[in-house]
Structures are given as C-alpha cells and as structure tokens.
Amino acid sequence: MAGMTSARQMGRVAVAAMGTVLAGCGGGNEAEVQTAGKFTILGTQTDNADRSIAKKNAENTLVKYPDIDAMVGLWAYNAPQCLEALKDADKLGKVKVFSFDEDPAALEAIKDGSCEGTVVQNPFQFGYQAMKYLKEMVVDQKTHELPEDKQISIPARTITKENVEAFQAELAANLKAGEEGKNAARPADAPKFAFITNVADPFWSHAEAGCYKAEKDFGIVADFEMNSAGDVAGQNKILENILNKGDYKGIALSVLNPANQTGLINETAAKLPLITHDSDAPESDRLFYLGTNNVEAGRRLGKLVKERMPDGGKIMIFVGKIDQLNAQQRRQGLIEELSAE
C-alpha cells in the first residue's frame, strides 16, 4: 500500500496520458484513434449511463468498423450491451469481448465462451468495509493508520471460464448474507450511516448486501442510497437531504464528478465524517478513499486482452461517463498495459 501512486498523482497522470484522446468523448462520440503497442484503439464511446445508448454505440461501431477485433467495456453493463449488438449482427464469437465487473449476462457469456473474461471489483466489501470503518471511527473512536495517499485498496480479480462458476457461487453467498442482515431487527437508537452510489445499477446490489451484513455485524443502521437520477444533481440532493435530517453519523460516497462536487463534499465533510468509495475526489477533504485501485484494475484488464490477443488488433473502448475518475483511471491503466512490451 505504501508504494501505491498517490490519488492526486493518479488524477494528473490520467489527464496527461489521455490528452486530446478525451476531447471527442461524450454522448456516444468517438475519441481520436491512437496506437497502444500492437493495438489500435479506435476510440472511447460514452453513453451517460444509458444502456440503450450503450447498445447503439456498439451497433454503430460494428457498422463503421466491420473489421473490428475486440470490444472492451469499462462499466458493468457495457460488455453485455456489446454482446447484444453482436448477437443481433450475427457476429457473436467473431469479435472478442472483454468486460469489467460482474454483470450476470457477462458471467454467463464467459461460461459459454462469447466473452473472454472480466476484471471484477468487490462491491460487497465496498459496503461492508465502508460501514465498518465509519462505525469504528465514530462509535469506537478508533484511529486508523492510513497510507500516505489516503487510499485503502480492495483488490480486483480476473474472472475467466476457469473460475467463473466458483465466483458466481461466492456472489450468491454474499447476496444471501446481505438479505439476512437486511431482515434482522435493528437495535434501538443505533448510529446511522449512509452509503451513496454514483448511479443506479445492479452492480450496487452487492454493495447493498455488504452494507446490511455490516449492519447486522456491528449494530448500526446502514442507509443504502441509490442515486436513481444518475447525475450530479441527484447525488447532491441526497447529500443535502442527509445534512438536513441531522441524524447521520457518517457518509460513504461514490463521487460522480470530482471537479463539480468538491465544494459540496468539503461542506459535508466539515459536518460529518465522509469517505469515498468506488470513485474518488482526491482534491477534496474526504477522510480517505476505499475501493479499487482503478489504474491497476485497468492494467489487469489490459493483461487479459494481451493474453487473448497476442497479435494485437483493433479495439473500441466503451464506458458510461468519462468525467468520472474511476473511468479515466481504468482507461489509463488499460492503455498503459497495452502499450507496454
């Protein structure tokens, strides 16, 4: 952990590494074509967390680049939408697909061979550990020794056909534990903590399970808040409501747009202990970030791509929003690894 690149450094590197490549991103537009080792990256398609746009992006890519070799999704739903577009175009199995996170459709596609694999985070532990740390800091008055970069890493893993069934069993066990925690009686006057997502997505069901398992284990109330609006305004409204209620003891937040939210994050952090998870705001006053080292996760995905495509090829990248730091960092790590010899 001590050798981990600092959050501020990673943010600067991410911007520098992408340069003009990001200039065309947004609303499904393509970025500038670039070379990364043996690979040609045709662009980065964004969809504003809209699955219908994500599928349309994949469909348009197949029309414009009929000789494309691979599609790489950086958010949970991207690869499944690519698979749908490939199926409709009768190209399933002819274009390689690489995923991120544990969307059930992607896992089934790994089992049947139409998806090469996925790099998964551990959202169950995002929820569980976030609630554990907040409870220890607030209730137990415990001081944690933090690394210099104030990042607590929850490692990512690579899932392929060889280990996908064992991973699915693990996911099912986690969801069951979460359901048991959710159904358990809450102790009277228990301290209340909030866990806030960036957007609404099935990915967060695993973090929700972790929150409720922690609720049962630590005698707290874990208030799971899904940002169903999927935008900064919706997330800011959740934060403001929490502050107005006045009965919360701490917050764990997945930041949508660090540049536009740092002011409100700082205002909130001045009143309540606030940590970030999943996506960081490294220039803010948050206490620390808990979650995936997204640059390293991107590199892990790049290793899988190189393993399955040793001769290189033409690749399109798909992601929900590129202004979110985790998306930038995953893309950065992916390109760095593809460029490395």
pLDDT for 20 equals 32
pLDDT for residue 252: 98
pLDDT of residue 232: 94
Half-sphere exposure of 273 (CA within 13 A, CB side): 19
Query: Residue 31 — very low, low, confident or very high, per pLDDT cuts 50/70/90?
Result: low
How many other C-beta atoms are found inside a 10 Å radius of the C-beta of residue 195? 27
Residue-wise pLDDT for 229-274, tens only, equals 989 999 999 999 999 999 999 999 999 999 999 999 999 999 999 9
What's the confidence (pLDDT) of residue 268? 95
pLDDT digits (tens, 9 = 90+) for 42-97: 999 999 999 999 999 999 999 999 999 999 999 999 999 999 999 999 999 999 99
Contact yes or no for 174/209 (Cβ under 8 A): yes
Per-residue pLDDT, averaged over 20-40, amounts to 65
Q: Are 14 and 22 in contact (CB under 8 A)?
A: no
Among 13-27, 119-133, 166-180, the range scoring the smallest mean pLDDT is 13-27
| DSSP letter assigned to residue 230 | -
What is the tens place of the pLDDT at every residue in 62-74?
A: 999 999 999 999 9
Tokens linked to 242:
């929490």
- C-beta of residue 58 within 8 angstroms of C-beta of residue 71: yes
Q: Which residue has the tokens 């540049």?
A: 259
User: Is the per-residue pLDDT at 122 higher than 50?
Assistant: yes
Tokens read off for 292: 């995936």
Share of the chain above pLDDT 90, in %: 84
Enter the tokens of residue 100: 């991120």
Exposure string for 137-172, b = 16+ CB within 10 A, e = fewer: bbbeeeeeeeeebbbbebebebbeeeebeebbeebe
Q: Which pLDDT belongs to residue 8?
A: 37
Residue range 267-295, pLDDT digits in tens: 999 999 999 999 999 999 999 999 999 99
Architecture (CATH level 2) of domain 7-121+293-339: Alpha-Beta Complex (3.90)
CA-CA distance, 125 to 29, in Å (whole number)?
A: 34
Task: Tokens 């392929």: give the residue.
Answer: 160
**CB within 8 Å of 58: residues ≥ 6 apart:** 45, 71, 81, 82, 84, 85, 86, 318
Query: What integer pLDDT is reported at residue 14 of this predicted model?
Result: 38
Q: What is the pTM of this model?
A: 0.85
How far apart are the C-alpha atoms of 309 and 304, rounded to whole Å? 8
Question: 2: pLDDT confidence band, cut at 50, 70 and 90?
Answer: very low
Check if CATH label 3.40.50.2300 holds for domain 123-291: yes
- Residue spans of the domains in the chain: they are 7-121+293-339, 123-291
Q: Kindly indicate the confidence band of residue 102, based on its pLDDT and cuts at 50, 70 and 90.
A: very high
